[in-house]
């Protein structure tokens, strides 16, 4: 997982549509560009946003217990009509 510094804290607002904006300086530090895919993981009361190409590193850390899930178990918790990436992946493995 890429670390911008020991700890970066920002307060952001959720829009009326439920959207959030990642501050420009954070996007620059983490090299997040328009069109990049992020993975959102919710565990307890935490929300983690991670670049999809960094997800393996994230799963080795705080979320290592998630690695034990099988594809079918992931499908049960991940599949939703709004997740284009999973839908494409799911079609490939069938």
Q: Answer yes or no: is 45 within a domain.
A: yes
pLDDT at 64 over 80: no
Q: Answer yes or no: is 62 within a domain.
A: yes
Give me the number of domains the chain comprises.
1
> Is residue 1 within 8 Å of 61, Cβ to Cβ?
yes
Parent domain of 58: 24-67
**Residue 84 structure tokens:** 């284009």
13-52 per-position pLDDT tens digit: 999 999 999 999 999 988 999 998 888 888 889 888 888 7
Q: Answer yes or no: is 36 within a domain.
A: yes
Q: How confident is the model at residue 73 (pLDDT cuts 50, 70, 90)?
A: low
Contacts 24+ apart (CB under 8 A), 80-85: 85/37, 85/52
Q: How confident is the model at residue 1 (pLDDT cuts 50, 70, 90)?
A: very low
Mean pLDDT of the chain: 74
């Amino acid at each position: 997982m890429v670390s911008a510094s020991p700890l970066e804290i920002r307060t952001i607002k959720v829009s009326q549509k439920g959207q959030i904006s990642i501050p420009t300086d954070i996007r620059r530090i983490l090299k997040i560009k328009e069109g990049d895919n992020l993975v959102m993981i919710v565990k307890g009361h935490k929300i983690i946003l991670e670049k999809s190409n960094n997800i393996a590193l994230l799963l080795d850390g705080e979320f290592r217990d998630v690695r034990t899930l099988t594809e079918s178990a992931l499908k049960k918790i991940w599949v939703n009509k709004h997740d284009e990436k999973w839908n494409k992946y799911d079609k490939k493995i069938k």
